[in-house]
Amino acid sequence: MGRSIIVPVVRFFRLEGVETRILSGMLAQLDTTEEQALATLGSAGTAAEIEAWRIDWLGSKGQLKQLMGRMKEVDASERPAFGQRMNAMKKSLEAAFKAKNNAAATPIAGPPMDVTEPGIAAGLGRRHVISHTVAEIIDVFARMGFEPTTGPEVEDEWHNFTALNVPESHPAREAIDNYYLEGGGILRSQTSTVQIRVLEDTPPPVRIVAAGRVYRPDTHDATHYSMFHQVEGLWVDRGVTMVDLKSTLLGFAHAFFGDDAEIRMRPSFFPFTEPSAEIDMKMRIKDEWQWVEVGGCGLVDPNVLEALKIDPNEWSGFAFGLGVERIAMRKHGIADIRWLYDNDARFLRQF
């Protein structure tokens, strides 16, 4: 790109009437120079040519800078007029360059934006595998006629022990096996407290399912944790038997795990059920299939019904409590319960 000719600035002489004519002519020459600069910019067709024009005219060593540097040759009385004209010229050239540069910007490739198309939703994360498992379990039992409900995590000894037929001398009440709170209260050790609260306010027939956190000071290992989740089921009606209990649990196992799910019920003892049984499911642990206890169950003990002023001669029922973590482990092939609480994103993103 050719360089424009710098307008020479003549030295003024102190002759009456002459200075004004010289300045007027020089300003006219600046007008011509500005027109030539703008014309040169207008003919620039590529980004490289536009940048070359900028360097030639607006750069630190460009023609505009050189013109402004010659202000010292102008008579002091005329410098304000010369300076104003140079500033106006500078603003004009800078604005023209900006407009030319913006117009020459490469348009975005592809079709125009469709403003009616829905935007991309922001990522809000996902539910934890435990929360997802709880929702699935509740959904299965809800389809079987159980009404979802909840209960408090901080309980009193009446709901956590006494109403569940656990005497004061029972080892299950010892401080080493529970989290007692200062000033009274206890972190519930089982979701069976929910069945007591429901039966206190709701006369039979009752069919509910409740999920929530429970707390026991267990040593952490592959299948035990000090805070975990349980799902409690309760059905109280006329003529409820162990057949109903086993049919319900088997129906859940098949609905949740598939028709090939294996469960077994082993005779056991719980103060609040009679007879009682442990519920086992087969799961893979360290590359081996093993029977793992996932909860307990049984018919509601008549003493529990009597404590709640429900006639055990008219009403009977069953209750069960399932460990959510162990069910999640069985379903997803998780070998260690501690992985669920390590907060390792690489592990959690799998679910």
Q: What is the pLDDT of residues 332-349, one digit of tens each?
A: 888 889 999 998 888 888
219 within a domain of the structure (yes/no): yes
The mean pLDDT of 76-97, rounded to a whole number, is 84
- DSSP H helices, 44-162, are 47-58, 63-69, 79-103, 129-143, 157-160
Q: Are residues 342 and 249 in the same domain?
A: yes
Domain end call among 103, 118, 143: 103
Last residue of some domain: 103, 137, 162? 103
116 within domain boundaries:
no
Within a domain: 10: no
Between 144 and 4, whose confidence is greater?
144
Specify whether 186 is located in the same domain as 288: yes
Q: Which residues contact 333 (CB under 8 A, 6 or more apart)?
A: 283, 284
Mean pLDDT of the region 48-69: 83
Residues 192 and 278 both lie in one domain: yes
Q: Could you check whether the bond before residue 107 is cis, i.e. omega within 30 degrees of 0?
A: no
Query: Is 200 inside a domain boundary?
Result: yes
- Interval 93-117: pLDDT, tens: 889 888 888 876 655 566 677 778 8
Can you give the residue range of the structural domain that contains 261? 129-348
CATH number at residue 254: 3.30.930.10
Which residues, 6 or more positions from 209, have their beta carbon under 8 angstroms from its beta carbon? 137, 138, 141, 142, 146, 147, 148, 149, 231, 232, 233, 234
H or E stretch at 78? none
Which residue intervals of the chain are DSSP H helices? 18-43, 47-58, 63-69, 79-103, 129-143, 157-160, 192-201, 242-257, 302-307, 324-332, 345-348
What pLDDT sits at residue 121?
A: 77
* Position 13 in a domain: no
| Shared domain check, 255 and 139 | yes
The answer to whether residues 279 and 137 belong to one domain is yes
Note the pLDDT of residue 211.
95
* 198 and 315 belong to one structural domain: yes
Strands 227-237 vs 186-187: parallel, antiparallel or unpaired:
unpaired
Residues 140 and 227 in one domain: yes
Are 211 and 336 members of one domain? yes
Q: Where does the pLDDT of residue 22 fall: very low under 50, low under 70, confident under 90, or very high at 90 and above?
A: low
- Tell me, what's the pLDDT at 17? 44
- Cα–Cα dist 175/53, whole Å: 86
268 and 164 housed in the same domain: yes
Residue 117 lies in a domain: no
Establish if 112 belongs to a structural domain: no
Statement: residue 81 has pLDDT above 50: yes
pLDDT of residue 7: 46
Residues 196 and 57 in one domain: no
For the chain, what is the domain count? 2
The reply to whether 264 falls in a domain is: yes
Domain end position, chosen among 103, 119, 149? 103
Statement to judge: residues 207 and 95 lie in one domain: no
Same domain, 93 and 182: no
Q: What is the pLDDT of residue 24?
A: 64
The reported pTM is 0.62
